[in-house]
């Protein structure tokens, strides 16, 4: 079964590019994002909790949602906010939305990836856009902390070439206050980095991508096992140029799997974060490849054997760039960016035997369209997520899928 021992922490009540092109796909933090339940979802009804207007409230949601114990959902948008460069928001169970922070062009812009928090209710995330100050070298992305009182602290400013550029996929935080993540570009070879930033803002690059066949352009963020090892994917490179699954221990970087250039038998170009079970198997998606070249859901054993669990066929979805979550029966849940009955994506369930059910076909209308991020559970078995587009104003939605 899946590893579910990481608790969901409560966010303090005082809290006052992806697909830069569809072919360059976009990013899982093991442990800080899911609530596990003991039931399997059957039929689903979608409710749009909030439709973004693209103004001060934000637009085009760019991160997975992070729930708190009261059922509030936290996330970011890539545009909008007071200054037009993205917003960090909370949506209440009633559907009321509140912008907690508006990003500025001069202070880190275009937030992406998921949010995490510490025990004191401080949130952590990344922006893909820069941080420009007079007489200083421009940043190409930032890592930041948003304190529970609403003030924002710059943790790190990425200044290529050596230390990376364009962080994606959110952060992982350890007990000492260090944060870990990936950049899609920069580093010694220009193809991204895996980094560590200490609580006082010192950065160490733990791996520079682009060293031969280690993979290039990581995009899906990181997960971490109980031993502290990191796992992730690269969108390209590897022995066959179709992308990789990798592991980084305290001393060694290892490519666990090389996706083929054609992707017919194994999928290729993974973008989404991985999911780890208690037997050490990794689960993920690829944006292309499979029997119909519409992407796959795959399983990778600790010995490096890959199995395609499902090949998408356009009718059940295409470009599954969102990460996977699970229930206690081992069923997997996710979202596809497009395809489905209306061409605007799907939410789906896949059983351990590979039986696939479309839980919702997005229409691109009031229910939203083109979902790109992981779903999350509540304790009643409802699923929540974001659609990047559509909704009442065309700037995306926060939705709930109810059993």
- Span 345-395, pLDDT tens digits: 999 999 998 999 999 999 999 999 999 999 999 989 999 999 999 999 999
DSSP 8-state assignment for residue 9: P
What mean pLDDT do residues 223-230 have? 96
Whole-prediction pTM: 0.88
Phi-psi region of 58 (alpha: psi -120 to 50; beta: other; left: phi over 0): left
Q: How far apart are CA 346 and CA 361, in angstroms?
A: 5
Q: How far apart are CA 276 and CA 145, in angstroms?
A: 27
Q: Which domains does the chain have, with CATH numbers?
A: 45-402 (2.120.10.30)
What mean pLDDT do residues 16-27 have? 33
In which band, very low, low, confident or very high, does the pLDDT at 27 lie, cut at 50, 70 and 90?
Answer: very low
DSSP letters of 48-104?
EEEE--SSTT-EEE-S--EE-TTS-EEEEEEEBSTTSB-EEEEE-TTS-EEEEEE--
Per residue in 98-121, pLDDT (tens digit) is 999 999 987 789 998 899 989 999
**Longest pairwise C-alpha distance within the chain:** 59
Count Cβ atoms within 10 A of the Cβ of residue 312 and give its class: 0-12 exposed, 13-18 middle, 19 or more buried: buried
In which band, very low, low, confident or very high, does the pLDDT at 132 lie, cut at 50, 70 and 90?
Answer: low
């Amino acid at each position: 079964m899946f590893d579910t021992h990481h608790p969901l922490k409560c966010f303090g009540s005082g809290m006052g590019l992806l697909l830069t092109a569809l072919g360059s796909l976009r990013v899982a933090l093991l442990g800080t994002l899911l609530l596990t339940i003991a039931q399997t979802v059957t039929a689903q009804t979608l409710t749009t909790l909030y439709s973004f207007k693209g103004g001060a409230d934000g637009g085009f949601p760019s991160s997975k949602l992070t729930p708190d114990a009261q059922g509030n959902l936290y996330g970011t948008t890539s545009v909008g906010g007071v200054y037009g460069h993205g917003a960090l928001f909370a949506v209440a169970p009633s559907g009321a939305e509140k912008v907690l922070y508006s990003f500025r062009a001069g202070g880190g812009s275009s937030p992406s990836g998921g949010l995490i928090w510490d025990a004191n209710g401080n949130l952590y995330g990344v922006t893909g856009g820069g941080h420009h100050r007079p007489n200083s070298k421009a940043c190409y992305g930032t890592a930041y902390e948003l304190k529970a009182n609403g003030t924002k602290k710059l943790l790190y400013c990425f200044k290529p070439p050596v230390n990376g550029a364009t962080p994606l996929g959110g952060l992982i935080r350890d007990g000492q206050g260090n944060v870990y993540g990936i950049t899609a570009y920069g580093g010694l070879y220009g193809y991204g980095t895996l980094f560590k930033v200490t609580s006082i803002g010192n950065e160490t690059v733990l791996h520079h991508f682009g060293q031969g066949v280690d993979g290039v352009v990581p995009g899906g963020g990181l997960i971490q096992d109980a031993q502290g090892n990191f796992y992730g994917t690269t969108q390209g490179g590897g022995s066959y140029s179709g992308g990789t699954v990798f592991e980084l221990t305290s001393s060694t970087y290892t490519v666990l799997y090389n996706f083929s250039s054609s992707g017919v038998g194994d999928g290729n170009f993974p973008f989404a974060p991985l999911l780890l079970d208690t037997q050490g198997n990794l689960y993920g998606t690829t944006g292309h490849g499979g029997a119909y070249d519409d992407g796959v859901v795959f399983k990778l054993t600790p010995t490096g054997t890959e199995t395609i669990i499902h090949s998408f066929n356009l009718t059940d979805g295409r470009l599954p760039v969102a990460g996977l979550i699970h229930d206690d029966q081992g069923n997997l849940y996710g979202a596809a960016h497009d395809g489905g009955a209306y061409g605007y994506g799907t939410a789906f369930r896949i059983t351990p035997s590979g039986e696939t059910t479309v839980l919702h076909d997005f229409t691109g209308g009031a229910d939203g369209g083109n979902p790109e991020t992981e779903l999350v559970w509540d304790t009643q078995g409802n699923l929540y997520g974001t659609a990047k587009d559509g909704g009442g104003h065309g700037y995306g939605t926060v939705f709930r899928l109810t059993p």
